[in-house]
Each structure stands twice: as structure tokens, then as C-alpha cells.
Amino acid sequence: AQSVTQLGSHVSVSEGALVLLRCNYSSSVPPYLFWYVQYPNQGLQLLLKYTSAATLVKGINGFEAEFKKSETSFHLTKPSAHMSDAAEYFCAVRPSGSARQLTFGSGTQLTVLP
């Protein structure tokens, strides 16, 4: 079964610094990949998704992710962190074929320091 691994359950950055959240997938076939964000006491919101049209995917709120097949990675980045980016971030994979559910990583809690 396809899965994703998020390295680092907690990441702290200073306001204005680069945000890098890591996600690696396990699949011999490029899967469908997503990044979701969850703010406290809220549901999940889609940041971006990989559709195979381009390896660099731009999402909302200034986030982007690069699909690297050779490294089986789909890391999330943002050039300059803002206090409002503090949240939990989930990488997810949706297997190709008939299965329609998302398999989520364990999440990374992002703290932005003033």
C-alpha cells in the first residue's frame, strides 16, 4: 500500500525564515500527492496538489512543493514564514486505481517564532 512519511513532528522557524516541511512517499508509480493544513479546532484545508502536469506546484498562502521522483519526495516550502502559518501540516497520498481514500502522514506541527 502506498504511504507517506513526514520527517519531523515539530518544526520551529523564525518569522521571515524559510519553511521546509518534508514528505517522502513510497511508491514505484508516481502517486497523487497533496498537502493539507489544519489550524487549531478546524478541519483540513488543501494547500496544493500534485497532478503530474508540473513538478513544481504552487499553492495557497505562498506555499509550494516540488515533486522529485528520484528522491520520492514532495517537500513543502515557503520562502518567508508568517505568524499565521503556525498550524499542523499533513502530506497525503491518494493511490492510483480504484481506491479513493487519502492516506495521511503523521503530520508536522509548525511553530513560528517572533
Q: Where do contacts with another protein occur on this chain (CB under 8 A)?
A: 32, 36, 41-46, 49-51, 90, 94-96, 99-107
Q: Output 32 or 62, the one with its CB closest to another protein.
A: 32
Strands (E), the chain: 3-7, 10-14, 19-26, 32-38, 44-50, 56-58, 64-68, 73-78, 87-94, 103-104, 108-113
Q: Output 81 or 93, the one with its CB closest to another protein.
A: 93
Minimum distance from residue 43 beta carbon to another protein (Å) = 4
Q: Output 56 or 113, the one with its CB closest to another protein.
A: 56
Place of cell 513544481: 56
Structure-block grid coordinates of residue 60? 495557497
Minimum distance from residue 106 beta carbon to another protein (Å) = 5
Minimum distance from residue 14 beta carbon to another protein (Å) = 27
Minimum distance from residue 107 beta carbon to another protein (Å) = 6
Q: Phi/psi at 44 (nearest 5 deg)?
A: -95, 145
Q: Output 48 or 81, the one with its CB closest to another protein.
A: 48
Sort strands 103-104 and 87-94 into parallel, antiparallel or unpaired: antiparallel
